[in-house]
Structure 1
């Protein structure tokens, strides 16, 4: 309920300074909890309130005068001053009541209904992510795009946006010419039925190797691609077959990750519209033909073509960026989105810079609402058998290791479906290990570190949630909303409630930067505070009034923890 306290503080400061409360409101920040000593609840850096410049002494004096005029009331119980920062401690029983009532009232909307977060524009957000290449097994390189895109979609949806999730498959281009040409020589319908993607992968490896040595095979691949481009029924039938089998297999992997898409699109959808793009570029005199016959768009200011983007091959066929331009224009017209987010690795940064530049040259006004969220590479996802390139192997490995860990742990609870529980914990471990750092940074995955039950891991979050959930079996009167705030004045309870005050600020920062690490760090802090509270604030053996209040308290933590985990793409487990 941070907005209630921020508003009360802003209004009192407004009266003293003569500055509008709305201007002060967003300058009031919750203080990060200090684990070893009590801290204030909110703070204002007074200099941030004023537009006029002044030196440190000027603001020190201004802050001191403000402090002298502020008065304790029913909301604020204490003021303080340190290094030019004015601090506020709120009424403790009011803190308990307001925070816990707001969590119960808002549920999954807690933190998002705050004035701070509600300022974010609402509308239709289109998120394009995952985007594997069909006819190939789901490569582990697509894991980051998949989980990051899912996180962004979840976050935007929680913030009140309508979200449209698009999987833009790599289902066109010369690799399909190779596959189409090679299948008649290396392919088998029987093997295709038994393990479609594995067999197509094997065919692709063989035909690719053959094309490097055999010019005839390379020409056959180019000819098959030309047939596809021209709509040859036989070539299209084979390609459609490969595409359908691929999507079926991908859907199984997405189900394991708890991910669904609104649309499976692909480059192939825009093979005809990409030629319309070439016509549009010609009509605006943007398309230039080189001496080699390729079509390029000049991206320099002076027209010397030192920086350009190739949009047409010399044989008249289109490229990946041409189809991306067509896709962007089509989505602008079809969905009239308010924002579109592309999630790919940082190697495609130049591609998206060029894409956005060309869209701007074509005077597409929605280009300013397009954003590329990029991420670094991950290494170290080998299984015990050796190197791994397929995501299914990684998910199997995570599940297998978690099952072994669960079997070794004395405190493990008996679950109805141990494999499903291990799967959910394993996925949480993968996601948290990935989300702890800056998205753009490369990082090395470490299995032992990711699967630890203590420390800042996905296993720890799942363990904490399951522990809180198990407490609720003691709650016989949960329908009774009323509880005594005086029963929750212990330091561990106050520190946890102070941390819960900060949730909307963390959500605000996460929305602003689309970096999951802020939410991960917050949830880890909440988990550690919850465990400290669990050790000292016993439910069993306490007086009924105390036990009831503490169960309300632990349930409030569980609700916020589960909400945050779901935004990250983690399904909380109730037992482990």
Structure 2
């Protein structure tokens, strides 16, 4: 395993430089594989040792690199040490590389590969609360909600795989004047029968209709205000109708989330915090943080000079609370209830200022834990349309992904006979959606492209699934060659070594991912692994090879299959074993 080699090299450096070996663990990194060129396995940039004070920084860096490389001795683990420009390269014993990297597989510990690395020793594990998805009831579930859902799911999966206790929360937009409109509109345009048949669609239709009506009808606007006031005052009939809208919507969303392979531990919402929001305002007032603006609104001064040049409004002039007031109440409530060590909000980048203000106010009010709160922003998706036009609900996108994938599979000559082709098409279609979204930096906007997204060749989710299914098929067809032991000396071709060198990077990729919460590192790692596997598939046949050779190659392919599946699951992709 990577940690065995990293630890061995770190110990060698520690002895030579008379330092603790821990000082070198994170400085060492696996060398990325390029094509099938022979290369070293690990590298140590001398600059990092100068920055950390282990080596003096007033000496010529190249001279320093070469001197240290000459001081380090080869042994049974490291067979070659060489100096490059400001970096020392380490090549490990090839047979030992094969043995150590593959011995874990086949012991029912395949899913632990890379997760017990010493790289993660520095992580503060604890309770992580992730708030994501957060659609608005009765409004359309747009592309931004899809991004929030899959990004939040990835972050929750990643944290959980690295030993955090994760609370997955969906904070629904279930309060505010839109419910005044919906409540008033439902009495005029709503139909209980339609609500049962297609709840999201019907609520959306009512909402669109009542908005149109309210544009020119003052009575409708007043009716909406009256309904929301009744809600705020907890009047029975209004609350009962609101609860019906909310419960029906949650059930519908749960069905759609299930298709995505997403689940939540808690369904919360703005409505939970309306009363507590008034308490928060009172606390801000008691602490002298609440000021009254010229327009009569309640504001908190966030300007460094305290001159009201930058304020955040937390109270309307009529005394009602706003979205941020409820967010303040929600954050305080969650800390008290879940005692989280960190809280992560996943929303689009247009809300960056909102969260900056939220965290500032919490800190000003004495909640030092706000430093452990983080906003993960993401860019916009352009051009997400289905054949029937603009996307209204997530379900339309999932249906379209499934039908297009089913069409592609039916035309492919390599498609296997499947028991449930719709289910496979659904899983592969969702993989395609996720990989298209995750390939670049999350903050970047991107253009949605059905054709490119669903290609079987190239860097797509379909290619990942195809590689996994192909490996599963290879393992199934050669069950008789599977064995508890294998001969490492039979896997010394560069094609095999390249796969193992790439697997050395898996723990580093997860470490990098948990530092910046970007899925692109893992996506690109898995795509590269799939390309290396495709080469090995051509060059290292299992069937027809001598039994010892077949056993060794099968162990290599099984390891690649296992890491591919583990990585896909962290991304939120369900691997398919036939397609």
TM-score (norm 1): 0.98
Contact 1:109 1:158 in 2 (8 A): no
Deviates more, 1:517-526 or 1:207-216: 207-216
Contact 2:142 2:391 in 1 (8 A): no
Count of residue correspondences: 575
Deviation, 1:478, is 6.9
Residue 261 (structure 2) pairs with residue 271 (structure 1): no
Listed as ranges, the matches of 1:185-224 within 5 Å are 185-224=188-227
Deviates more, 1:38-47 or 1:526-535: 38-47
Contact 2:125 2:164 in 1 (8 A): yes
> Which residue number in structure 1 is paired with residue 159 of structure 2?
156
Aligned counterpart in structure 2 of residue 508 of structure 1, from 491, 503, 511? 511
SS of the residue corresponding to residue 272 of structure 1 reads helix
Deviates more, 1:219-228 or 1:229-238: 219-228
Matches of 1:253 and 1:47, distance apart in 2: 50
Deviation, 1:280, is 0.8
Deviation, 1:383, is 1.6
| Alignment gaps of 5+ in structure 1 | none
Deviation, 1:388, is 2.1
Aligned counterpart in structure 1 of residue 86 of structure 2, from 68, 84, 103? 84
What whole-Å deviation, never above 9, does each CA across 1:146-173 have from its counterpart, x for those lacking one? 0000000000000000100000000000
Listed as ranges, the matches of 1:133-152 within 5 Å are 133-152=136-155
Listed as ranges, the matches of 1:31-180 within 5 Å are 31-50=31-50, 51=53, 53-54=56-57, 58-105=60-107, 106-180=109-183
> Which residue number in structure 1 is paired with residue 437 of structure 2?
434
Deviates more, 1:6-15 or 1:17-26: 17-26
What whole-Å deviation, never above 9, does each CA across 1:470-500 have from its counterpart, x for those lacking one? 0111343577321000111111100000000
Matches of 2:74 and 2:294, distance apart in 1: 79
What whole-Å deviation, never above 9, does each CA across 1:167-211 have from its counterpart, x for those lacking one? 000000010011111111111222212211111111111111121
Aligned counterpart in structure 1 of residue 463 of structure 2, from 460, 463, 487? 460
> Which residue number in structure 1 is paired with residue 363 of structure 2?
360
Residue 567 (structure 2) pairs with residue 564 (structure 1): yes
Deviation, 1:82, is 1.2
Matches of 2:21 and 2:251, distance apart in 1: 56
Matches of 1:47 and 1:150, distance apart in 2: 37
Root mean square deviation, CA, Å: 1.4
Contact 1:75 1:90 in 2 (8 A): yes
> Which residue number in structure 2 is paired with residue 490 of structure 1?
493
Contact 1:138 1:250 in 2 (8 A): no
Change (3 A) 1:247 1:478: farther
Matches of 2:399 and 2:145, distance apart in 1: 16
Listed as ranges, the matches of 1:497-576 within 5 Å are 497-576=500-579
Deviates more, 1:506-515 or 1:471-480: 471-480
SS of the residue corresponding to residue 344 of structure 1 reads strand
SS of the residue corresponding to residue 390 of structure 2 reads coil
Contact 2:432 2:460 in 1 (8 A): yes
> Which residue number in structure 2 is paired with residue 445 of structure 1?
448
SS of the residue corresponding to residue 386 of structure 2 reads coil
Matches of 2:473 and 2:235, distance apart in 1: 61
Q: Which runs of 4+ in 1 moved over 6 A?
A: none
Deviates more, 1:331-340 or 1:78-87: 78-87
Matches of 2:285 and 2:233, distance apart in 1: 21
Contact 1:136 1:246 in 2 (8 A): no
Deviation, 1:298, is 1.3
> Which residue number in structure 1 is paired with residue 257 of structure 2?
254
Deviates more, 1:84-93 or 1:206-215: 206-215
Deviation, 1:127, is 0.3
Deviation, 1:409, is 0.5
TM-score (norm 2): 0.97
What whole-Å deviation, never above 9, does each CA across 1:542-572 have from its counterpart, x for those lacking one? 0011101111110000000000000000000
Deviates more, 1:114-123 or 1:523-532: 114-123
Deviation, 1:505, is 0.7
What whole-Å deviation, never above 9, does each CA across 1:398-425 have from its counterpart, x for those lacking one? 1001001000011101111000000000
Listed as ranges, the matches of 1:306-317 within 5 Å are 306-317=309-320
SS of the residue corresponding to residue 168 of structure 1 reads strand
Deviates more, 1:295-304 or 1:5-14: 295-304
Matches of 1:219 and 1:356, distance apart in 2: 36
Matches of 1:111 and 1:322, distance apart in 2: 42
Contact 2:130 2:345 in 1 (8 A): yes
SS of the residue corresponding to residue 122 of structure 1 reads coil
Contact 1:475 1:548 in 2 (8 A): no
Deviation, 1:53, is 4.8
Matches of 1:67 and 1:193, distance apart in 2: 73
> Which residue number in structure 2 is paired with residue 281 of structure 1?
284
What whole-Å deviation, never above 9, does each CA across 1:437-493 have from its counterpart, x for those lacking one? 000011101111100001100000000000000011134357732100011111110
Deviation, 1:21, is 1.7
Contact 1:179 1:203 in 2 (8 A): yes
| Alignment gaps of 5+ in structure 2 | none
Deviation, 1:522, is 0.3
Listed as ranges, the matches of 1:310-329 within 5 Å are 310-329=313-332
Change (3 A) 1:82 1:491: same
SS of the residue corresponding to residue 376 of structure 2 reads strand
SS of the residue corresponding to residue 409 of structure 2 reads helix
SS of the residue corresponding to residue 119 of structure 2 reads helix
